[in-house]
Amino acid sequence: MSVSDLQKRLAGEAAALRVEPGMVVGLGTGSTAAWFVKALAARGLTDLRCVPTSEKTADLARELGLPLTTLEDVSRIDLTVDGADEVGPGLALIKGGGAALLREKLVWEASDRCLVIADAAKVVPVLGAFPLPIEVVAFGHKATANRIMDVLIDHEIAMPARLRQADRGVVRTDGGNVIYDAKCQAIHDPVRLADDLKLITGVVEHGLFLDLADEAIIGGADGVELLTP
Ligand SMILES: O=C[C@H](O)[C@H](O)[C@H](O)COP(=O)(O)O
């Protein structure tokens, strides 16, 4: 197992210990969240109800026997545990590397507590080295991308956002949208960028998760470290 996988696993296992019987739990998406899901299933807690943030996580949870529910069927979620692509100052995050940002944000915002789990390399002094995912409605997405570019230029970001592609063509999210990844290098004003992106018609969501994480468990060389905003 690679060093980063080991650190992701440590963080996921530590997070699973935070879950108590009877809780409604939000299950994040990605390789780190998958360690959490496996560790949670291994605890065999009773009366859990789990809200997955993607079809992929739902498949894994189902396979491991975790009881699933939906955001429509629960009024609140007690605790959501999820990974991140970057963890910046104040626990500002970039998420969406796995294309699950919209469902993730919906689940996070419905949660009483959000716990982010990551390996040490994800902790950064300034957000933006990881390309910022922006989820866009497929209809007219090139026109929307032009308007995204205008906003990026206003934020002194010169690189155009790129339509995310995979081996099988353009990536579609679980909701059928497409993703543009913006190489920002450094996001100096994440709050203003988040607001400006949300004002563009056709932008469904972006991967800036600001003021949402209550705590982070970071897996490192010497075990886990806890971070708070
Ligand atoms: O859309 C995916 C999510 O936001 C993931 O939580 C994020 O990309 C981190 O993934 P990983 O744990 O695989 O690095």
Nearest alpha carbon, ligand 1 atom 9: 84
Residues of the chain with CATH 3.40.50.1360: 3-124+210-227
Give the Cβ contact number of residue 165 at 10 Å. 11
Q: How far is the CA of 33 from the centre of ligand 1 (A)?
A: 8
Residue 164 in contact with residue 170, Cβ under 8 Å?
A: yes
Q: Identify the CATH number of the domain defined by range 3-124+210-227.
A: 3.40.50.1360
Report helix, strand and coil shares of the chain as percent, to nearest 5: 30, 25, 40
CA distances in angstroms from 149 to 184, 195, 210, listed in the order given: 11, 15, 22
Q: Is 55 labeled as catalytic in the residue annotation?
A: no
Q: At what angle do helices 31-43 and 3-16 cross, to 10 degrees?
A: 40
d(CA 25, CA 115): 11
Q: List the beta bridge partners of residue 28.
A: none
ipTM of this complex: 0.98
pLDDT in tens, the chain (229 residues): 899 999 999 999 999 999 999 999 999 999 999 999 999 999 999 899 999 999 999 999 999 999 999 999 998 999 999 999 999 999 999 999 999 999 999 999 999 999 999 999 999 999 999 999 999 999 999 999 999 999 999 999 888 899 999 998 999 999 999 999 999 999 999 999 999 999 999 999 999 999 999 999 999 999 999 999 9
Which amino acid type is present at position 169? G
pTM of the model: 0.96
Nearest alpha carbon, ligand 1 atom 2: 98
pLDDT at 12: 98
CB of 98 closer than 6 angstroms to any ligand 1 atom: yes
pLDDT at 159: 84
Nearest alpha carbon, ligand 1 atom 8: 97
Annotated binding-site residues for substrate read 29-32, 82-85, 95-98, 122
pLDDT at 161: 93
Is 132-206 a CATH 3.30.70.260 domain? yes
Residues of the chain with CATH 3.30.70.260: 132-206
CB of 29 closer than 6 angstroms to any ligand 1 atom: yes
Of the residues 3, 38, 85, which should be mutated to test ligand 1's pocket, given the most ligand atoms within 8 Å of the CB? 85
pLDDT at 202: 98
Q: Give the DSSP H/E element, type plus range, for residue 198.
A: helix 190-198
Q: How far is the CA of 154 from the centre of ligand 1 (A)?
A: 28
